[in-house]
Structure formats: structure tokens, C-alpha cells
Amino acid sequence: MTVIDISPSVMQFLLAFIVVAPLLGALAALLPAPPGLKGRNPDQAVLRHGVTVTGAVLVAAIVLAAGFDHDHPATMQATTDISWIPALDVRIHLGTDGISLPLLVLTALLTFLCALYSYFKLPAGPSPKAFVALVLVLESGTLATFAVLDLLLFFLAFEMVLIPMYFLIARWGGDQRQPAAWKFILYTLLGSVVMLLGLLLIGLKSGTFDMVALATDNGRGLTTSVQVIAVLAIGLGLAVKTPMWPLHSWLPDAHTAAPTVGSVLLAGVLLKMGTYGFVRILLPVAPDGMRTFAPYLAAFAVVGIVYGSLACLALARTGAKGDLKRLIAYSSVGHMGFVLLGIATMTPTGVNGALFANIAHGLITGLLFFLAGAVKDRYGTADLDTLAGATGAALYGRAPRLGALLAFAAVASLGLPGLAGFWGEMLTLFGAYSPAEGLSRPAFRTFMAIGAFGTLLTAAYMLIVVRRVCMGEYTPHSRLSPDEQSQQAPRAADGPQPSGTAGSQLSGAAGSQLSGAAGSRTATTPQLADIHPYEAAAWTPLAALTVIAGLWPAVLLGLTDPAVQQLLAGGKS
């Protein structure tokens, strides 16, 4: 069944287009704008170019999904197979199935929303041309990672995203951006070197780099020792990108320093490249090696779940000077732990849960980073102690719609039933209850219990964040000392404001309210700008899809389950 009937040749073109178009768009972004398309200034023209290219890619991805045969999601569709380097038997092999299609659409959607958001709220930094070009190269590399079916092409696409993300952090980031960017690039490059050795080992020992052929062979052409070595090498590279505890330490620094759209793309799509590699390559190609390492992978996963939650609780406590973006970054360590736990079960239930959690995390955490960036723009800080009341910063009273949306994203992140975050965590825990044959059931049930405890910790720190940031502990300015009033009132009134007329009106209103408060015993809390139209346009799709995926999980599971069943069966239905 397809939503619209599209010929195979058009499907091939659509998949090739969504991979290549961002790269061509990045080259075009560096060229001078043609006469008549410059708009008010060249900066506006190149930002509009970014929105146009990412929008075209999103439309192509949606049409590709509409033309996808949903009755046969386990079959590779829209395939292109062209010889590229005959001497190494490397082919330009593209295709999509029920596993990769949701990730392609998610990537196209998040990149478009980031381009739209940046059109109105460009982060401070060098040339907008370079910014747009880097975002488009990042999109092309990510989409290629999910579309290619050759091991060496997978590695090239996997590496293609590193340099753009490095520069987005190093040139457009905030405080400590240079150390964070260096840590990001060093960790991921070192992991990639080890991963390349594992990919070469598989290709040379099996005689092919074709991922479909390798998955169909299901490891029968590889000895157990080769599989074990390959899983160890490739798994280390993928674990760094996921990131798995204890290889996660680059992530909080990168998220804290990155601009808002950089954090959204890093959490929403780049982390998924690591877990996708586990499912697409290691599970079907080296099942014996995966079975050897699955208990260790599950153990690291549940440690990451608990560790990430405890780190968030430490950051959320009063007086810890915790950063909201850093807290969300540590929450990603815990959420990706559930994905790894589901993969480690090697069961259809667990792997489907991992793939669902992947998509849910991209939607929810992408929204959380958008909201954290908006809060930081309005207050000039993401420090939780400041947001919790030092400036009378309760969001419910000052920006009610923004506060409500932050609370919605928080409860979605903690896995509230009826929202997208619930299904992935539940299915991974079910998978751990009854792991694949050959895996220790008592061990995995212990991991399940620890993971379930992690969900309670997640609920604890998310509710603390909502209580402190949205409800706050407002202290009227009239009760503060004159010195405290002079130090804190300007921070609330004169912090970075949204550009445009609304921002200037807000600044004036806030200033007049604070002036009145200084001369009166009854102080009023200065209002903040609530959600702007461009913010609503960027955030509404993520919130809506979070609800739809939570209420109608069969849409996604109907795609992934047949493909996962076939993948785990060695290419046999």
C-alpha cells in the first residue's frame, strides 16, 4: 500500500535528491546571490536560500515516504546501485526501508526547522554564508548515513558530519566553545579510526562491502573470532557517537557550548547515527559477535541511564549553578541508554523499542533544546538558580505559553503515557525481560529493573526542572536590598532580547515596570516576550508529532517491525 503511486525511477531520483541536494545547496550558498534575489541584504538572501533548500529536501522526503510501499517495509526501496571504485568493489548503493525511512524524514524535518529558526534568530558569529553552508553539509552527511548501503560509503558519510559540527560549535557557540569543539572532534575521530578498521575487516574477510548482501549472509561467511573483533572495533566507534557511558564526556560540553540549532541537530539526528549503525550493520552482519558483547552493552547502557539521571538531579538541585542545556545533554545520555539496552536484547521487541525511542528522542529533545535556547535568549543565562527565582523568573507568570510548552516537553521526556517518549522505553524494558536465545535471562531482567528505576529518576529531575523554572520562587524586588535591586533588575530587563519591534517594545515595557517597582512597595514581575510566530512555526511540528507518535505508535512500528524481523532473521522473511 502506498499513499501515492510513484514509479520506481522517480523514487530513485527522490532518494538521490535528498542526499545530494543539500551538498549542492551548500556550494551555492557560498556564491554571490543572483541579482533580484538579494532581498534587503546578502545575509537575508543566504538565510532564505538555506530555508529554501532544506524545505525542498523535506518535501522530497515526505513524497518519498508517501510513495513508499508500506505493505513491504522490509524490502529495500528507491534503490540505486552503481559501481564507483571497481578495484575495491565499492558501489554507490542507496536504498531505504522501514528502519531508515523514519530517520530520513526526521533529519529533513529538524534541519528545515533549524534553518527556519535561524532565518529569524541567527546565532552570533562569522558570515551567515558559512553558517548556512555548514548546516547543509551536515544535513547531506546525515541523510547519506541513513541512505547508503555500502560499508565504505557509510564510513565516509559518517565522517562527513564531523567538520561542519566542529565549526558550528567553535565559531557560533557560546562560552568555552573552543575546548568543547576540540573534545567533540577528538573523541569522534579517534572512535572513527577504530571503526574503519572493523569495517575493513568485515569487507576483506567476507569479500564484499555491500550491506544488503552481508545482512542476508547473516555472518555465515565470517568466523566467530572475526565477528567478535569486528563488533568490538565498530562498536567502539558507534558507541562514541551514540554516546554510551563512559564515552559520553564530550556531549555535555558540546551541547552547552553549541548554538541552539547546533544542539538541536546534534541531539536530534547526529546521535542517531551511532545507534543506527548498531542496528543496520552489527546486528545482521555479526550476530555471533553481538551475542558475545550484548550483556556488556546492556550493562553499560543501564549504567548510562542511572548515571545520566543522577547527573541531572545534581545539576537541578538548588545552589548547584546547573546549566539547563547541560542538564538536557545529560538526559540524552540516559535516553540513549534505553536505545542501547533495546539493541542489546537482540529481540524484535527490544530493537523496535530502540528505533521508536530514537525517533521520540529526536522530537522531544530537539524541542527541549529549542526551548532552552529561547529561555537563554530572554534571560541572558541558562543557569538554573537564576531561572528559578533570583530574577523573579517564573515562566508561568511571565511567559505562560513558553512555560507551558517547556512543561509539555519535560513530561514527554520523562515518558508520560500518551506521548512519544513512553513507547520506546516500555518496549525496550519488555525486550530486556525476555532477551534473545543464548543471552542470560536473569542478567537482562536485572538490567530491566535498573532501567525501570532510571525512569523514576528521569521523572524526578524533569519535575524538579519544571517546578524551579516554570513555577520559580519569585522574590519581589521591593524585598531586596538596594544593591541587589541594582544588580538583578538590569539582568531581567536588559538581557538579550529577540530582534525586531517586539523585542524593543518588550525592553521598554520591562524597563518601565522595573522603574515602577523600584519606587513602590508592591513590585511587579517584568513580563517576557512569549512565543514569537517564527518560534511557534519551528516548535509546533515537533510538539504535534510527539502527541501523534504517542497516541498512534502503530504508524512507526508498522514500518520498523517487518524490517527488524527480517534483519534479525538474516534477510529471510
pTM to 2 decimal places: 0.87
Looking at per-residue pLDDT, the higher value among 114 and 503 belongs to 114
Nearest in space to 421 (alpha carbons), one of 316, 264, 543: 543
Contacts of 28 (CB under 8 A, 6+ apart): 49, 53
Confidence of residue 99 (pLDDT cuts 50, 70, 90): very high
What confidence tier does 109 reach under pLDDT thresholds 50, 70, 90? very high
Question: Which sign, positive or negative, has the C-alpha torsion 308, 553, 419, 455?
Answer: negative
pLDDT at 138: 94
Residue 560 C-alpha cell reads as 520498523
pLDDT at 322 over 90: no
| Residues whose CB falls within 8 Å of the CB of residue 315, separated by 6 or more in sequence, listed in order | 322, 323, 326, 327, 330, 384, 461
Q: Are 239 and 304 in contact (CB under 8 A)?
A: no
Written in H, E and C, the secondary structure of 463-490 is HHHHHHHHHCCCCCHHHCCHHHHHHHHH
**Distance linking the first and last C-alpha atoms of the chain:** 18
User: How many angstroms separate the CA atoms of 142 and 280, rounded?
Assistant: 15
Question: Pick the residue with more confidence: 371 or 476?
Answer: 371
Q: What share of the chain in percent tops pLDDT 70?
A: 87
**Cell numbers for 178:** 573552543
Q: Does residue 352 have a pLDDT over 60?
A: yes
Mean pLDDT over each residue of the chain, to the nearest integer: 84
Tell me the C-alpha to C-alpha distance, in Å, between residue 63 and each of 7, 511, 558.
Answer: 12, 49, 18
pLDDT for residue 560 is more than 60: yes
Between residues 564 and 508, which one has the greater pLDDT? Answer: 564
pLDDT confidence of residue 571: 53
Judge whether 564 and 355 are in contact, CB under 8 Å. Answer: yes
The torsion angles phi and psi of 83, rounded to 5 degrees, stand at: -65, 135
Which of 101-115, 469-483, 509-523 is most confident? Answer: 101-115
Q: What is the pLDDT of residues 387-444, one digit of tens each?
A: 776 555 677 877 888 889 999 999 999 989 989 989 999 999 999 999 988 888 999 9
> pLDDT-based confidence at 526, cuts 50/70/90?
low
Residue 35: predicted pLDDT: 57
**Residue 248 pLDDT grade (very low, low, confident, very high; cuts 50, 70, 90):** confident
State mean pLDDT over 347-367: 94
* Residue 379: predicted pLDDT: 80
Q: Which of 93-97, 144-148, 203-207, 356-360 has the lowest mean pLDDT?
A: 203-207
Q: How far is 275 from 339, CA to CA, in rounded Å?
A: 7
